[in-house]
Structure 1
Amino acid sequence: MAERLVKVYSRFNRIWHWLQVLSILMLLLTGTRIMGLHPVLPFEAAVTLHTLTALFLLVLWAFATFWLFTTENWMQFIPRYEGLPAVIRFYAWGAFKGEPHPYLKAYHSRHNPLQALSYLALKVVLFPAIWISGLAYLGYTFWAPADHASFWLTIVANIHILAAFSVATFVVLHVYLLTIGHGFREHVRPMITGFEKVEVSAEAEAYFAAEKPERLKEEAQS
């Protein structure tokens, strides 16, 4: 196995990622305005922007889910215990002592065990919770005549807010972890250029060189 700069993030992957980032930031901005936590936008405009952005992001996630399951990328989110304690120890202790990251990225396994577990929880727990509660809240007029509708509306609203603040916490931690190790720019650059330094086998490198040379890139010399 050798470390090479390989194009591991497709154009769709990168566009999806940054559109998701912008959408989530807009949802947090408008959602906190609806809650009355700041006066940046008029209330009606915040509600409209929140709804439209949420529907856009729902469509984007539908396309992204289809893309994940029709490519090999879904395998990146399979959680595994092997190496998890070492990664947790690194972020809790080793990173502050200057220790090297215990996980070496490979072409078919770019996410470390903690990342894979976190992203899986995000996709199968938090995102469904926020979408189901949001759509239920948006469609309240359809089930308002039901018994105890106001009580259930309170439950739906609280689930939505709890899920939203959980996503906000994930965003803060995600940005913070980008500052650990090689530095913020080094972590963000792959999601801009598509190229990341990962371990590839000799067979995979030979295949890329022969069949997909555009996916290999020589590392710039300093």
Structure 2
Amino acid sequence: MGGEKVKSIYLYTRFERFWHWAQALLIGGLLWTGFAVHGDLPWPDFHTAVIWHNRLGITWLILFAFILFWEATTGEWRHYVPTTRKLFAVGRYYLVGIFRGEPHPVAKTAEAKHNPLQRLTYLGVAVAIVPVQVVTGLLYWTYNDWHLLGFSMNLGVLAFLHVAGAFLFLMFLVIHVYMITTGHTPFAHLKAMVTGWEEVHGPDKPPH
């Protein structure tokens, strides 16, 4: 791009990178063991899958609590505040502009790590999919104690909601992996989440 050069900015802290990759492993493990519980995968066996699904679920829930605490105390939550500014421009970019070699309409900065579409997506996952999975997962886990709590629910409905949430998570992961490849090189975003340094395009000289 004329008049611009690639420069590196430090965007992702060590803890941010840690919880990103830890979540990826835990969610991947939850999806694998969850589908194994339903008999959709040949390994592990049902009993082993249930044990590990529960362990991974509790581990992820603890990690997520730490993430929320970190986001709240460091001010990182501001990167997830939704905005419609340039939202349609970003949507058009991913539908059309990216295939024409056009520049991204919203550059990453230390003050705004995520574009409007990312903000809405991540917020949607956090306030919609995650609560559904947590609540239905905990209900599944305590199923044998429902009578002690005076709670009753159709197990088929609970199963449907939990599996539906799992498929939404799977869709998110597939799209997320694809989006990783849409940087100025196919591995630029992946490298950034390993090193913390994101390569962005900026002007050769500061604007007057």
> TM over 0.5, yes or no?
yes
Decide which of 103, 107, 120 is 1:100's aligned counterpart. 103
Report the alpha carbon displacement of residue 180 of structure 1 after superposing the two structures with TM.
1.8
> In structure 2, what is the equivalent of residue 143 of structure 1?
146
User: How far apart are residue 9 of structure 1 and its match?
Assistant: 1.2
Structure 2 distance, partners of 1:4, 1:91, is: 23
Match of 1:168 in 2: 170
Identify which range, 13-22 or 182-191, moves more after superposition. 182-191
Deviations 1:177-216 (A, max 9, x none): 112232331011111111123589xxxxxxxxxxxxxxxx
Give the fraction of aligned pairs with identical amino acids, expressed as a percent.
39
Superposition pairs of residues 6-25 of structure 1, within 5 angstroms: 6-25=9-28
Task: Specify which structure has the bigger relative contact order, considering alpha-carbon pairs within 8 angstroms and separated by 6 or more residues.
Answer: 1
Deviation string, structure 1 residues 129-173 (Cα, Å, up to 9, x no partner): 100110011111121478893x52222211111111101100000
Equivalent position of 1:114 in the other structure: 117
Q: Residues 199 and 67 from structure 1, CA distance in 2 versus in 1: closer, same or farther, beyond 3 angstroms?
A: farther
Distance 1:119 1:10, change over 3 A: same
Q: What amino acid does structure 2 have at the position aligned with 1:153?
A: L
Distance, in Å, in 1 between the alignment partners of 2:77 and 2:201 is 19
How many correspondences in the alignment?
198
Change (3 A) 1:45 1:164: same
Q: What 5-or-longer segments of structure 2 have no aligned partner?
A: 203-208
CA displacement at 1:29 relative to structure 2: 0.7
Q: Tell me, in whole angstroms, the C-alpha distance in 2 between the residues paired with 1:5 and 1:96.
A: 24
SS, match of residue 86 in structure 1: helix
| Pick aligned residue for 2:83 from 80, 97, 100 | 80
Identify the residue that residue 135 of structure 2 maps to in structure 1.
132
Q: Is the 8 A contact 1:95 1:181 kept in 2?
A: no
